[in-house]
Chain A
């Protein structure tokens, strides 16, 4: 009874103090609260904020009044963790040390941690870090939803307090759209090239993105065991290695699987369904091997943002965008300028004619698979650098990749790039007005509108597609 009263008091004070605290924090979105125990402020407690994808946003320590605040970049769900080791002795958090508030655009959300003195309540303790995946209940009842995602339930205890909207935010959303768009474009280019040359829509392309992220994670964090030595490399080494592994993976896939299916004469529709099966197998292999957690790279996970003009960006964002654009331009130039690129375009145009004019169609398709998987792997590394590596990351991106490819024109290499950037900008800017969870609906709506109005896409040729 005493603890309950203390808990209630803590919550009430946090509410009232939060309202006054908002005056100190009126610029953009953020999360804040005041930590109290029996009405007394608790200073010196560390609270860290992560994005939904596990990327650290920032952390704060409660001040003499028990107040803490962390600014966050945009309206989204965040994961707020209270470091229990920094609490005074004998004080525990009620209901676990993690909250998942949803911060609305232009507002500062209050995150409540109830504190109580004495033993931890039963079941209140919860290890920080990995979200626990939902396990289908035993008894063979629930297989329809095998791949439950980490729970994203926000707590109810978030309150909108204050915050203006600013023109700067439009600019920063456009920039983050370009950034996201480059990552989408890298993956979309591969998908589009593979479709162009083989006619296959590879539903496992998202898993190739995940492959890159996990390959880099293996070299960077897990380490390679080699004759008793355990080697880990800096991300600057791990990223190219991951892309190289991706290229190899793509080559081997076509050499031993997709190419074999083509030669057997398996129908395209059957191959498409097979690609969904391949996606399922790969996804569950990742889960089997690495578990459902979210993994960060050893380097560049946290980086203080810098202010450049109206933008607040991290250096890694600028550098990865630069590298991504360079790679896109290089692949584009290779397609246009080199003999090999010409051969790729010839196969995409008409495989039989290309074969008749002396092009080794199978070799070209193998090259396209290798390049496409390498690009997807690079996209995966970039995505995991900015968010985190998770076995579902690629699958979650697949819808955006499809939207990009259809918008640009199915099978056109440059269209995929343009489509990727446009989709990226559109969904990021849409979060200015819509909750960020609806960005997939925006992508779907875009896809349907494009199919209705201009099914050949922005850069597609005007041929009859029906």
Chain B
């Protein structure tokens, strides 16, 4: 068994560009779910519209890089307002239904043959990340400048994505930290605890909830942007509802309603995922198990089953995660 490879991969991935995507998406969800108690089951849609905004702008319309990034963020704002206005006056579970439905419907649209000319169908779009990479080249991160440091190994492209990505994570964390210790953030937390009480104090809870959904959605769109420039391709199946579930897992693992919870959760989750899939791949390759028990095509489903069971167990036995406070997340549908 090649433990060296397994641990190198696991550790490199645990701080690599992939983890940034989950960290950003979970920071956004933390604003919505952790602090405000909004059940957004469509974080994948927010990340997806962010990524598709960039790809659609550059690859399809031929816009420059920055307007396309703004288009992605604007699309997330539109989505948040649309979903928020229709559901946030209602009980919490209506938002859950509407967001999960929106995520799936948008994914269908992106996959559709009719719009293939514009959105690329199930293959998605590519060829939009060059400008972003050029910025990296101009800063001296040329091809071949790979970083090998102890067990870590990153390519030059990934390094540039990581620099930008971790900077975005830091900025988002700062924004969330500042926002949540402001009067505005206290209103959000109060809405989570008792919305009626907030309303009786004369606050417009509906408007605050829309703002929270919007802020979280825009941070989610940033996650999509990083994912897009990291892979250099957007495709509808990257933004499956499963993505949303993993973001919940990341958030709850780290601890909801904690500023650093999402980052800790993302590193841990991504590390565990990579360890499991590398480990099981090695097991299949070396044929440790009797034949017929685990074939190469069965590795991925098995990893997801194990992750799913782990996350369910986490939710049941330690819903506050690593850093969370149990009192803060004993939410209920009102």
Partner of A440, one of B90, B97, B104, B123: B104
Partner of A406, one of B94, B237, B240: B94
Nearest opposing residue in chain B for A285, CB measure:
B305
Complex contacts, A136 vs chain B, CB 8 Å:
300
0/1 string, A374-394, CB within 8 A of B gives 1: 000000000000000000000
Whether, in the assembled complex, A138 has its beta carbon less than 8 Å from a beta carbon of chain B, the answer is yes
**In whole angstroms, what is the CA distance A394 to B136 when docked?**
44
Whether, in the assembled complex, A251 has its beta carbon less than 8 Å from a beta carbon of chain B, the answer is no
Please determine whether B305 and A466 come into contact, CB atoms closer than 8 angstroms.
no
Please determine whether B242 and A147 come into contact, CB atoms closer than 8 angstroms.
yes
List residues 1-54 of chain B with CB under 8 A from any CB of chain A: 9, 13, 18, 21, 39, 41
**In whole angstroms, what is the CA distance A405 to B100 when docked?**
14
Whether, in the assembled complex, B141 has its beta carbon less than 8 Å from a beta carbon of chain A, the answer is no
**In whole angstroms, what is the CA distance A261 to B97 when docked?**
22
Whether A438 contacts B112 in the complex (CB less than 8 A), given A276-B41, A465-B90, comes out as yes
Whether, in the assembled complex, B163 has its beta carbon less than 8 Å from a beta carbon of chain A, the answer is no
Complex contacts, B39 vs chain A, CB 8 Å:
269, 272
0/1 string, B106-149, CB within 8 A of A gives 1: 00110111100000011100000000000000000000000000
Complex contacts, A441 vs chain B, CB 8 Å:
105, 108-109
Please determine whether B312 and A278 come into contact, CB atoms closer than 8 angstroms.
yes
Other than the known A133-B297, A266-B315, A266-B319, what 5 A-B pairs have Cβ atoms closer than 8 Å?
A145-B238, A147-B240, A268-B332, A281-B309, A291-B297
Please determine whether B237 and A145 come into contact, CB atoms closer than 8 angstroms.
yes
Complex contacts, A143 vs chain B, CB 8 Å:
18, 273, 277, 303
Q: Across chains A and B, which 7 residue pairs bring their CB atoms closest together, nearest first? A: A281-B308, A444-B105, A437-B112, A288-B301, A145-B237, A284-B301, A284-B304
Complex contacts, A264 vs chain B, CB 8 Å:
316
Please determine whether B82 and A448 come into contact, CB atoms closer than 8 angstroms.
yes
Complex contacts, A435 vs chain B, CB 8 Å:
112-114
Please determine whether A451 and B90 come into contact, CB atoms closer than 8 angstroms.
yes
Whether, in the assembled complex, B93 has its beta carbon less than 8 Å from a beta carbon of chain A, the answer is yes
**In whole angstroms, what is the CA distance A151 to B319 when docked?**
38
Nearest opposing residue in chain A for B277, CB measure:
A140
Nearest opposing residue in chain A for B114, CB measure:
A435
Whether, in the assembled complex, B330 has its beta carbon less than 8 Å from a beta carbon of chain A, the answer is yes
Please determine whether B97 and A406 come into contact, CB atoms closer than 8 angstroms.
yes
0/1 string, B306-334, CB within 8 A of A gives 1: 01110110011001000000000111110
0/1 string, B222-256, CB within 8 A of A gives 1: 00000100010001011111111110110010000
0/1 string, A449-466, CB within 8 A of B gives 1: 001100100000000011
Please determine whether B248 and A273 come into contact, CB atoms closer than 8 angstroms.
yes
Interface with B: A79-87, A113-121, A395-403, which one? A395-403
Please determine whether B304 and A280 come into contact, CB atoms closer than 8 angstroms.
yes
Whether, in the assembled complex, B274 has its beta carbon less than 8 Å from a beta carbon of chain A, the answer is yes
Residues on A facing B (Cβ under 8 Å): 77, 102, 133-136, 138-149, 151-154, 199, 201, 203, 261, 264, 266-270, 272-274, 276-278, 280-281, 284-285, 287-288, 291, 395, 398-399, 402-403, 405-406, 410, 435, 437-438, 440-441, 443-444, 447-448, 451-452, 455, 465-466
Please determine whether B13 and A288 come into contact, CB atoms closer than 8 angstroms.
no
Whether, in the assembled complex, B278 has its beta carbon less than 8 Å from a beta carbon of chain A, the answer is yes
**In whole angstroms, what is the CA distance A266 to B109 when docked?**
36
Whether, in the assembled complex, B264 has its beta carbon less than 8 Å from a beta carbon of chain A, the answer is no
From B98, B249, B273, B301, residue with most partner A Cβ within 10 Å: B301
Please determine whether B245 and A399 come into contact, CB atoms closer than 8 angstroms.
no
Whether A448 contacts B297 in the complex (CB less than 8 A), given A266-B316, A399-B104, comes out as no
Whether, in the assembled complex, B204 has its beta carbon less than 8 Å from a beta carbon of chain A, the answer is no
Please determine whether A448 and B91 come into contact, CB atoms closer than 8 angstroms.
no
Complex contacts, B308 vs chain A, CB 8 Å:
277-278, 280-281, 284
Please determine whether B281 and A138 come into contact, CB atoms closer than 8 angstroms.
yes
Please determine whether A277 and B315 come into contact, CB atoms closer than 8 angstroms.
yes
Please determine whether B21 and A144 come into contact, CB atoms closer than 8 angstroms.
yes
**In whole angstroms, what is the CA distance A105 to B273 when docked?**
45
Please determine whether B114 and A438 come into contact, CB atoms closer than 8 angstroms.
yes
Please determine whether A288 and B102 come into contact, CB atoms closer than 8 angstroms.
no
**In whole angstroms, what is the CA distance A268 to B86 when docked?**
22
Please determine whether B300 and A199 come into contact, CB atoms closer than 8 angstroms.
no
Complex contacts, A285 vs chain B, CB 8 Å:
301, 305
Partner of A447, one of B101, B240, B297, B300: B101
Please determine whether B121 and A267 come into contact, CB atoms closer than 8 angstroms.
no
Please determine whether B248 and A276 come into contact, CB atoms closer than 8 angstroms.
yes
Nearest opposing residue in chain A for B227, CB measure:
A144
Whether A135 contacts B113 in the complex (CB less than 8 A), given A277-B245, A466-B89, comes out as no
User: Can you report 28 residue pairs joining A to B where beta carbons are below 8 Å apart?
Assistant: A77-B113, A138-B281, A140-B9, A141-B18, A142-B231, A144-B21, A145-B239, A147-B237, A152-B113, A261-B316, A266-B315, A268-B332, A268-B333, A269-B92, A273-B315, A274-B312, A277-B249, A277-B308, A277-B311, A277-B315, A280-B307, A284-B308, A395-B241, A398-B104, A402-B100, A406-B97, A441-B108, A465-B91
**In whole angstroms, what is the CA distance A276 to B33 when docked?**
16
**In whole angstroms, what is the CA distance A281 to B308 when docked?**
5
**In whole angstroms, what is the CA distance A365 to B108 when docked?**
35
List residues 234-292 of chain B with CB under 8 A from any CB of chain A: 235, 237-246, 248-249, 252, 273-274, 277-278, 281
Complex contacts, A451 vs chain B, CB 8 Å:
86-87, 90, 94, 98
Please determine whether B94 and A443 come into contact, CB atoms closer than 8 angstroms.
no
Please determine whether A444 and B101 come into contact, CB atoms closer than 8 angstroms.
yes
Please determine whether B93 and A201 come into contact, CB atoms closer than 8 angstroms.
yes
Please determine whether A273 and B18 come into contact, CB atoms closer than 8 angstroms.
no
